[in-house]
Every structure is written in structure tokens, then in C-alpha cells.
Amino acid sequence: MKKSGSIQLKHFSEEHSAALLEFELPEEQHRFTALPKEVLKQTDGQFPIVILSEGEPVGFFILHATERVKDYSDNPDAMLLTALSIDRKHQGKGYAKEGMLKLPAFVAKEFTHCHEIVLVVNVKNTAAQHLYVKAGFADTGERKMGPIGEQIVMKLNTGKHPKGS
């Protein structure tokens, strides 16, 4: 089992590239999320983040500071989280949960303007819904139609408050 505190979130760099390009997902998960090799090309306003366990890439996601955020939040200080995945060989070890629990502190340090993280999760993806709830995300009650069905909009306040409040 992993040591507590062994998980780190880091901005993507080329040193992570080879490992991320090898990521695999079970088909039932891949229909809900993208593999790193499918989304690493898009970087304008997008920040690829690597979940590391003792220096080894085990997970990946993207934080967006693009116009796309407005589809899910009216908060001008929000960022959108997409493409969360844990490599098949590292699943079931708590890395996704630990990574998401470290997300607020990471965002507070790396994206000081951000006060909220939003995401959408497919209604059929109950495992991911449970993960996000355990990590502190809340269902906003809003629903969107996605490429493979209805999606739940969830948000996480990062503990900071917008100026003037």
C-alpha cells in the first residue's frame, strides 16, 4: 500500500510525457473520460496536471481557464476540471481521491485567482460521482447534455472568497 503523503500534483512537463502516453483505461471508464494522449495537444488556456506517486505519473487531469468554464459557472474566478484519469495499473489504490483532496491547496498556490473548481460527470458514472463527493465537490442541481448523455454539474469552493465579499 502507498505511504500517506506520497501523492503530489504537478504541472505537466516533458519528463512526464512517456508515462502519460502509455496510460490505459478500462473501456467502461474510457467512455467517460479522455486518455492523456488524446488531450495533451490542446494547451491554450488549459493546464495539464499530473498526479504523481513517489515521482511516478499515476494520474492526470486538465484545469481550464477558457471560455468553456462559462458553460458551467457564472463565477469569473472558476476553473473547469476535465479528463481525470488514473492509469489502469494504478487504479484501486486511492490515488484519484488523494489527488482530488490535494486539489484545493494546489489551486490556491498555483492559480491564486481561482475560487471555484467546476466539473461535469455523467449520471451513469456513479464511481466518479462518489469520488468527487468524497473530495468535497457538491452537486449544483444543474444538468447538461453531454456527448453520451446527461451530466451532473458539480463544484468545489477552494476556501478563498472573491474580493469584496
pLDDT at residue 141 greater than cutoff 80 = yes
The CA radius of gyration of the chain, in Å to the nearest whole number, is 15
Q: In sequence order, what E strands does 24-108 have?
A: 46-53, 56-64, 78-86
CATH architecture assignment, domain 7-157:
3-Layer(aba) Sandwich (3.40)
pLDDT at residue 5 greater than cutoff 60 = no
Q: What are phi and psi of 58, to 5 degrees?
A: -120, -20
Element (H, E) at 11: strand 7-11
Write down the pLDDT at residue 36: 85
pTM of the model: 0.89
Average the pLDDT over 106-119 and give the result.
Answer: 95
Interval 36-49: pLDDT, tens:
888 887 678 999 99
State the Cα–Cα distance between residues 162 and 140, nearest whole angstrom. 19
